[in-house]
Structure 1
Amino acid sequence: MPAVTVDDLTVLPRLATPGLGDTVRPVVSVTSAPQGYEGEGFPVRRAFAGVDLAQLDPFVHLDQMGEVEYAPGEPKGTPWHPHRGFETVTYMIDGVMDHQDSQGGGGSITNGDTQWMTAGSGLLHIETPPEWLVAKGGLFHGLQLWVNLPRDQKWAQPRYQDLRSSQLGLVATADAGALVRIIAGEVGGQSGPGSTHTPMAMLHATLAPGARLDVPWRADFNALVYVLSGNGHVGLDQRPLKTGQLAVLGAGDFVTLGADARQEGRHPSMEVVVLGGRPIREPVAWAGPFVMNTKAEVMAAFEDFQKGRMGQIPAVHGAPTDLVEG
């Protein structure tokens, strides 16, 4: 799991630990992500399955893509499909993914890179492994997060942010036992490169066995902890948390979690993603690739897609040209 690594964590800025008057966020629930398949057949864990959307707000969906070791000829992606009304955030931990959209955005992301696509008023896009990776095979692991847009931003002009791993904010815990990569938002005085319509923070942390992670967290944000790999615990009551589980936290000033002293042999460290944002608190009507405020708006989105109003597939050599609705 390369993403971004640092040889000497002691040279990084340090996160504060909870002080007098600070409140560690309690655990509201822990759920296990079911496994399934997305796109043309790559394996995913549905991290938010079974969790009330009100507890996730402003987020609506999170897939852990892989971790999978593909043989030659096996790597898979998605066909062309539409989106409207939200943002997709694709964070690559291992492997390579190419992106293309009908607005001319796109690029290739690899270890530690992020593609941040604001679908806004609507567009078509495709995500596929490059041809050389399909031929060669290899390790593939990443995340895709869907961030809702408030009503007044759902018709924003689509845009694309290409966030390189070198741009991530990097901090360590007070004892240098954990590395924190900040993808978006401000955490402990350090910021990530992602520019967001909805105020939020997103980070990926690697905890050494037995390490503790204390993250100062905005009181007006919700807080979610998802375990990519490893075993540990969350909250002051040290609620157990393991690979593929999501913890929803309550109100407070700090997110606190720790890694067990013994980790599984395949993953020597505990890898977690911490997410939070200011809830939008608007009605959500969600069907397939569209996240709107009303059912009528979703139906209009399907009609606009079917009539070609969300753009045309660009001529790209070797790219699939079949359209799907989600």
Structure 2
Amino acid sequence: MSNISLIIEERAANIGNFMVGRLLPFKQKRAVGPFVFIDHMGPAKLKDHENLDVPPHPHIGLSTLTYLFEGAIMHKDSMGTEMEIQPGAVNWMTAGKGVVHSERTPEYLRNSDKSLHGLQIWVALPKDLEESNPSFTHIEADKIPKWEQDGLQIKLIAGKAFGKQSPVPVHSHLYFIEIKSTKSQRLNLGNDLFGESALYILEGNIKSEGHSYGPKQILIAKDSTLCEFEIGENTTVYIFGGEPFPEERYINWNFVSSDKERLQKARKDWINQEFPKVPGENDFVPYPALKK
């Protein structure tokens, strides 16, 4: 019996002036543990006149996790935070009852050729924290737990696994793990994982029960305790998941909540510009027009 219940292919999505590969949500799988949204940005080669510019936009009911492989992004938010993120570091922003932020190419890179490649992730908040005060934490790359084991390079980017804990201040039981291999070998991670689990292949390939899978695919496990596969040489995968919440989470644009009425209030508040402002920013992303 195969332990893979679903295979999700990366799908193109437009986030303004930038195309991304959308991985979650998917119509047959809205969340994996508390993870409700994943975008794969790039890899993109941007010319000297091309820049990432995502104007101020709002969130409620979630935490955002930004993790870059290449390039840099300047994050600014309505709490007054200004923080550049570079590869290997983590920006963790908890929206709670409401936050607004922008994401742009830093000023010093805006007139030169540049690359951008990374993951943008939304993690739903437990119900009792959905209306908490917003917060922001930046974790430098050298603070993320990493180690070598049997020819593998492993990073625990967020959460708990392998008897270790990341300093990213998550709000629920989860894990987000990077594994890089230099040689082909069999892995059995079942004893270190819990809840729901999924595997994203960034580069290279894996084999499971006689089938081979390649880049831009997410594999959803039926049972995280049976997470066993063969990882190919020069392969990078991300394993994420955790305990699902007892209540369903709903998504409306950039808003996440266990309460559909709360989503409608957030929508009205953004249309009426009643969210807090990002200092120094004058434009904003309008709520998308409703499809007829």
The answer to whether the superposition gives a TM-score over 0.5 is yes
Which residue number corresponds to residue 213 of structure 2?
241
Which residue number corresponds to residue 221 of structure 1?
195
Which residue number corresponds to residue 305 of structure 1?
270
1:291 maps to 2:253: no
Work out the CA distance in 2 between the residues paired with 1:119 and 1:144: 15
Provide the identity percentage. 25
Which residue number corresponds to residue 113 of structure 1?
89
Q: Structure 1 stretches of 5 or more lacking a match?
A: 1-23, 262-268
Work out the CA distance in 1 between the residues paired with 2:118 and 2:87: 9
Q: Structure 2 stretches of 5 or more lacking a match?
A: none
1:230 maps to 2:204: yes
Contact 2:80–2:278 (CA under 8 A) maintained in structure 1: no
Which residue number corresponds to residue 91 of structure 1?
67
Cα deviations across residues 72-101 of structure 1 (Å, max 9, x unaligned)?
111213111011111111101111011010
Whichever structure has more strand as a proportion of its residues is 2
Work out the CA distance in 1 between the residues paired with 2:210 and 2:85: 36
Which residue number corresponds to residue 208 of structure 1?
182
Cα distance change, pair 257–74 in 1 and its aligned pair in 2 (3 A): farther
Letter in 1 for 2:109: L
Picking from 280, 304, 308, the partner of 2:245 is: 280
Which residue number corresponds to residue 7 of structure 2?
30
Contact 1:95–1:138 (CA under 8 A) maintained in structure 2: yes
Contact 1:170–1:190 (CA under 8 A) maintained in structure 2: no
Cα distance, 1:219 vs. partner? 5.7
Contact 2:157–2:176 (CA under 8 A) maintained in structure 1: yes
Which residue number corresponds to residue 132 of structure 1?
108
Work out the CA distance in 1 between the residues paired with 2:31 and 2:207: 20
Cα distance, 1:65 vs. partner? 0.5
Contact 1:25–1:254 (CA under 8 A) maintained in structure 2: no
Contact 1:79–1:324 (CA under 8 A) maintained in structure 2: no
Cα distance change, pair 272–320 in 1 and its aligned pair in 2 (3 A): farther
Cα deviations across residues 90-134 of structure 1 (Å, max 9, x unaligned)?
101111011010012230010101100000000110011112222
Contact 2:98–2:275 (CA under 8 A) maintained in structure 1: yes
Which residue number corresponds to residue 4 of structure 1?
none
Work out the CA distance in 2 between the residues paired with 1:157 and 1:202: 24
| 1:13-162 map, 5 Å | 26-39=3-16, 41-53=17-29, 56-162=32-138
Cα distance, 1:165 vs. partner? 0.4
1:171 maps to 2:143: no
Contact 2:76–2:103 (CA under 8 A) maintained in structure 1: yes
1:195 maps to 2:195: no
TM-score normalised per structure 1? 0.82
Instruction: Give the number of aligned pairs.
Output: 288
Cα distance, 1:311 vs. partner? 0.4
Cα deviations across residues 186-239 of structure 1 (Å, max 9, x unaligned)?
2212222211112111011112242344335556421110111222224xx143
Cα distance change, pair 181–25 in 1 and its aligned pair in 2 (3 A): farther
Cα distance, 1:62 vs. partner? 0.3
What secondary structure does 2:189 align onto? Answer: strand
Work out the CA distance in 1 between the residues paired with 2:120 and 2:197: 17
Cα distance, 1:258 vs. partner? 2.7
Cα distance change, pair 238–97 in 1 and its aligned pair in 2 (3 A): farther
What secondary structure does 1:253 align onto? Answer: helix
Contact 2:61–2:124 (CA under 8 A) maintained in structure 1: yes
Work out the CA distance in 2 between the residues paired with 1:302 and 1:252: 36
What secondary structure does 1:136 align onto? Answer: coil
Work out the CA distance in 2 between the residues paired with 1:57 and 1:314: 34
What secondary structure does 1:247 align onto? Answer: strand
Cα distance, 1:49 vs. partner? 4.9
Letter in 1 for 2:274: R
Work out the CA distance in 1 between the residues paired with 2:4 and 2:212: 10
Which residue number corresponds to residue 16 of structure 1?
none
Which residue number corresponds to residue 321 of structure 1?
283
